[in-house]
A and B are shown apart, each in its own frame.
Chain A
Amino acid sequence: MDASALNFTDVSKVYDGAGSAERYALRDVTFDIAPGKTVAIVGRSGSGKSTLLHLAAGIDVPTRGSVAVYGAALNGLGETERTRLRRRDIGFVFQLFHLLPHLTVRDNVALPDLIAGVRERTYRERVAALLERVGLPDRAGDPVAGLSGGEMQRVAICRALLRRPRLLLADEPTGSLDDASGQVVMDLMLQMVAEEGATLVYATHSRELAAMADRTLRLHSGILEAESDASE
Chain B
Amino acid sequence: MDRFSWSNGLLEINETLVIQQRGVRLYDGDDKAKMDLGITLLSTHRLIWRDIKNHECCIAMPLSQIIFFEEQAAGIGKSAKIVIHLHPVPANKEPGPYQYSKYSYIKLSFKEHGQIEFYRRLTEEMTKKRWENTPVSQPIPTGTGSQAGKTRAVGIVGIERKIEEKRKETDKNISEVMGKNKESNVDIKSSCYGMMALTEVYCLVNRARGMELLSPEDLVNACKMFESLKLPLRLRVFDSGVMVVQLQSHSEEEMIASALDNVSEKGSLTAEEFAKLLGLSVLLSKERLLLAEKMGHLCRDDSVEGLRFYPNLF
Chain A bound to chain B: no
Chain A: residues with CB nearer than 8 A to chain B?
none
Chain B: residues with CB nearer than 8 A to chain A?
none
